[in-house]
């Protein structure tokens, strides 16, 4: 499952990374706790050079009433045991809610990080999962659709995040699913009219060694709580991270010897709050 995620990059950074124009209505602002029903940034196959704000939680065009399908299982009805070694058929291509969208309505979902918790405790014991080496923003693989309210005529554009089996990092957290994170080189393929045989191989877990995670406050459970303090760590990272600095010291040893000292320090850089100020260690 992936029901909460983060976009804290500035709009100009997102525009440069994805080579896209800003949303037409200019209503974007960084969000620390994107939840089902919120509007967030996507890039669709129909407008691949335009950032748009769609609702998180897809309603298929044929639905009689509004729905909030926030995740789409890549395996569909297969792999009900969520075996992390599953390599069988991608059943999403035949699921009624997604079989049209996976063929003709694919999108990139812009993100900087996401939240998950153990299968049992869920967001009562949440972790923030992020890219190492500050490799953000990135894109989830998504599908989208448009639904028309027959009573009001209002058109709703919405999306789902495609999920796959858990990689090793998610397994360490105790979670059984993972959102599909696209490699940067695969993003344009995802937005193209490429056939399913070229698309379904992209629905795989992201390499665990390129991700990390740390625990955060369970206050994240409240979808109305959008405070950026929610993203502060409350404990150690799953994988320790270090930075190495070489320090040279001149010492008078005999005729005068230059020695080098390698110091290992736990990485804990300050983070700039998108709304200004320093936040302490984030991701």
In the chain, where the domains are located: 4-238
Name, in order, each residue with C-beta under 8 angstroms of 80's C-beta and a sequence gap of 6 or more: none
Higher per-residue pLDDT: 220 or 273? 220
* pLDDT for residue 280 is more than 60: no
Higher per-residue pLDDT: 148 or 277? 148
CA 81, 87, 90, 91 dihedral sign is negative
150 exposure class (CB count in 10 Å sphere: 0-12, 13-18, 19+): exposed
- Reduced to 3 states (helix: H, G, I; strand: E, B; else coil), residue 173 is helix
| Share above pLDDT 70 across residues of the chain, in percent, rounded to a whole number | 86
The domain 4-238 is placed in CATH, from the list 3.90.550.10, 3.40.50.1820, 3.20.20.70, 3.90.1680.10, at: 3.90.1680.10
pLDDT in tens, 243-275: 544 333 334 334 343 333 334 444 443 344 555
pLDDT in tens, 27-40: 899 999 999 999 99
* Nearest residue to 233 via CA among 249, 256, 212: 212
Give alpha helix (H) positions in 74-224: 101-104, 168-173, 187-191, 196-199
* pLDDT for residue 279 is more than 50: no
């Amino acid at each position: 499952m992936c029901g909460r995620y983060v976009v804290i990059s500035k709009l100009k950074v997102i525009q440069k990374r994805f080579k896209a124009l800003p949303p037409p209505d200019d209503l974007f602002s960084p969000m620390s706790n994107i939840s089902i029903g919120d509007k967030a940034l996507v890039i669709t196959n129909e407008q691949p050079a335009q950032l748009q704000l769609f609702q998180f939680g897809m309603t298929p065009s044929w639905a009689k009433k509004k729905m909030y399908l926030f995740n789409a299982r890549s395996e569909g009805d297969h792999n009900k045991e969520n075996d992390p070694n599953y390599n069988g058929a991608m059943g999403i291509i035949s699921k009624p809610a997604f079989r049209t969208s996976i063929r003709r309505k694919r999108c990139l979902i812009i993100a900087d990080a996401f939240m998950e918790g153990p299968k049992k405790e869920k967001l009562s014991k949440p972790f923030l999962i992020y890219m190492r080496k500050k490799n953000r923003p990135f894109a989830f693989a998504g599908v989208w659709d448009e639904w028309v309210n027959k009573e009001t005529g209002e058109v709703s554009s919405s999306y789902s995040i495609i999920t796959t089996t858990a990689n090793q990092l998610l397994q360490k957290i105790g979670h059984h699913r993972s959102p599909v994170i696209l490699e940067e080189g695969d993003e344009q393929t995802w937005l193209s009219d490429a056939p399913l045989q070229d698309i379904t191989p992209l629905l795989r877990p992201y390499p665990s060694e390129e991700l990390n995670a740390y625990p955060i406050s369970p206050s994240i459970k409240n979808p109305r709580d959008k405070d950026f303090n929610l993203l502060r760590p409350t404990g150690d990272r799953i994988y320790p991270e270090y930075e190495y600095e070489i320090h040279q010291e001149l010492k008078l040893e005999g005729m005068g010897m230059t020695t080098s000292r390698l110091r290992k320090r736990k990485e804990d850089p300050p983070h700039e709050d998108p709304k200004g100020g320093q936040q302490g260690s984030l991701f």
